[in-house]
């Protein structure tokens, strides 16, 4: 059964700690994305990766880091430099950068991060 998994579903961390959110896909997609969702603000792009070993900053990359060592995995680290990390984090993937349909994004179930 193909799809995107994110773990954990709920995550709590103490202020000043780094935390890593997992995102795995078995859709054989080249491109992967991380979004942050806050109430009333929609989704904002943090980082995206179009191919293994390559990634680009999105609109709100400060305080976050990513890696793309494997095609199926795109973990997001929320560092202590992120001033307001409490949010709902969504991972997505798409086939790649070919024709218009290749960029349709499929979303994971999300991870809710709360900083105590």
Partner 1 sequence: AQSVTQLDSQVPVFEEAPVELRCNYSSSVSVYLFWYVQYPNQGLQLLLKYLSGSTLVKGINGFEAEFNKSQTSFHLRKPSVHISDTAEYFCAVRRTGTASKLTFGTGTRLQVTL
Positions touching partner 1 (CB under 8 A) are: 4, 6, 40-45, 48, 50, 58, 90, 92, 97-98, 100-101, 103-110, 112
In the block, tokens 């995206």 appear at 48
| SS3 of 7-27 | ECCEEEECCCCCEEEEEEECC
Tell me the closest approach of the beta carbon of residue 64 to partner 1, in angstroms: 16
Task: Report residue 70 as tokens.
Answer: 């494997």
Toward partner 1, which CB reaches closer, 85 or 108?
A: 108
Tell me the closest approach of the beta carbon of residue 45 to partner 1, in angstroms: 6
Toward partner 1, which CB reaches closer, 8 or 17?
A: 8
Tell me the closest approach of the beta carbon of residue 16 to partner 1, in angstroms: 27
Tell me the closest approach of the beta carbon of residue 108 to partner 1, in angstroms: 5
What is the C-alpha to C-alpha distance for residues 43 and 63, in angstroms, rounded to an integer? 17
Answer whether 108's CB lies under 8 Å from 7's CB: no
Toward partner 1, which CB reaches closer, 10 or 15?
A: 10
Query: From its phi and psi, is residue 100 left (phi > 0), alpha (psi between -120 and 50) or beta?
Result: alpha
Toward partner 1, which CB reaches closer, 22 or 80?
A: 22
């Amino acid at each position: 059964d193909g799809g995107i998994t994110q773990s954990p579903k709920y995550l709590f961390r103490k202020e000043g700690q780094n935390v890593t959110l997992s995102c795995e896909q078995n859709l054989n997609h080249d491109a992967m994305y991380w979004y942050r969702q806050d109430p009333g603000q929609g989704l904002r792009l943090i980082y995206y990766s179009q191919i293994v070993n390559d990634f680009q900053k999105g609109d709100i990359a400060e305080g976050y880091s990513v890696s793309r060592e494997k095609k199926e995995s795109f973990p997001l680290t929320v560092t202590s430099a992120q001033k307001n990390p409490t949010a709902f984090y969504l991972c997505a993937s798409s086939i790649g950068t070919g024709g218009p349909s290749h960029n349709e994004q499929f979303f994971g179930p999300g991870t809710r991060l709360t900083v105590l």
